[in-house]
């Protein structure tokens, strides 16, 4: 699998988080997966890269040109993709592009931004068949889990999110979950569900269908009005 990994870049990242980041990198390499991440050399990004490198795995780093000035990039990547532009939008797109799953290690605002954008992309059907797994070390992502449940309770978040947004306690459980998700053919099922627009999820295809129905209704209404006008003039 091509696994996109989000995580902290802070050199002050707690050891418990760093240990899981390194473990994830190791596991990705040992199981033959490609590790794609933001290209940092510190924090969870750096730990994951080091673990993958030490286990002789393949690493693809996607970094914004802004961070190259400070020499913050990880040395030893098999491929270094440099994103440009006046925002992080291109970098986020390149990180997600072609990935089979996304795993979020503990991180700050940048990691949260990446995670929630991915949730929206998958939930709306712009990315299909991609599970997102949060590595909730020491309960780090428990507030996110609780927020989703509260949103569902208040009918602001659709229940279908539980099918692709998962929470695990450590790196190994997260990777096992991703592999199991794909082995069970859930990616195919998710694509099929999205294409049909079924379930209580807000799907892009359903939106397209609604637009088509609305457009057809407008056309029929205009045609009916035109016919009525002709008949009135005939009188």
pLDDT tens-digit readout, 27-44: 999 999 999 999 989 999
Domains in the chain, start-ordered, CATH in brackets? 2-194 (3.40.50.450)
**Per-residue model confidence (pLDDT) at position 65:** 85
Distance separating alpha carbons of residues 42 and 135, to the nearest angstrom: 18
**Per-residue model confidence (pLDDT) at position 227:** 37
Query: Which two structure tokens, joined as six digits, stand for 149?
Result: 């449940």
pLDDT tens-digit readout, 197-211: 333 333 333 334 444
Helices 171-183 & 186-196, crossing angle to 10 degrees? Answer: 60
pLDDT tens-digit readout, 76-122: 899 999 989 898 999 999 999 999 999 999 999 999 999 999 999 99
- DSSP strand E in 67-177: where? 79-83, 101-104, 132-135, 165-168
**Per-residue model confidence (pLDDT) at position 226:** 42
Q: Is the pLDDT of residue 2 over 90?
A: yes
pLDDT tens-digit readout, 110-130: 999 999 999 999 988 898 889
pLDDT tens-digit readout, 224-233: 444 344 344 4
Greater confidence (99 vs 212) lies with 99
CA-based nearest residue to 49, from 8, 84, 101: 8
Query: How sure is the predictor about 186, in pLDDT bands with cuts at 50, 70 and 90?
Result: low
Distance separating alpha carbons of residues 131 and 168, to the nearest angstrom: 12
Residue 233, classed as helix, strand or coil, is helix
């Amino acid at each position: 699998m091509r696994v996109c990994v989000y995580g902290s870049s802070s050199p002050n990242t707690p050891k418990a988080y760093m240990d899981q980041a390194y473990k994830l990198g190791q596991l990705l390499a040992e199981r033959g997966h490609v590790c794609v991440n933001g290209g940092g050399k510190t924090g969870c990004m750096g730990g994951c890269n080091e673990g993958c490198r030490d286990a002789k795995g393949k690493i693809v780093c996607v970094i914004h040109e802004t961070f190259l000035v400070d020499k913050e990039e990880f040395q030893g990547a098999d491929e270094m993709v440099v994103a440009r532009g006046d925002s992080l939008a291109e970098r986020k797109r390149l990180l997600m592009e072609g990935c089979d799953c996304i795993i979020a290690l503990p991180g700050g605002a940048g990691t949260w931004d990446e995670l929630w954008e991915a949730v929206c992309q998958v939930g709306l059907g712009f990315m299909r068949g991609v599970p997102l797994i949060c590595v909730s070390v020491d309960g780090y992502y428990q507030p996110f889990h609780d927020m989703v449940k509260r949103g569902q309770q208040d009918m602001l978040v659709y229940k279908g999110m539980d099918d692709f947004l998962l929470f695990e306690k450590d790196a190994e459980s997260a990777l096992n979950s991703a592999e199991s998700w794909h082995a069970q053919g859930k990616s195919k099922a998710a694509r099929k569900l999205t294409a049909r627009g079924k379930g209580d999820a807000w799907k892009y295809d359903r939106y397209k269908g609604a637009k088509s129905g609305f457009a057809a209704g407008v056309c029929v209404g205009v045609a009916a009005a035109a016919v009525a006008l002709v008949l009135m003039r005939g009188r």
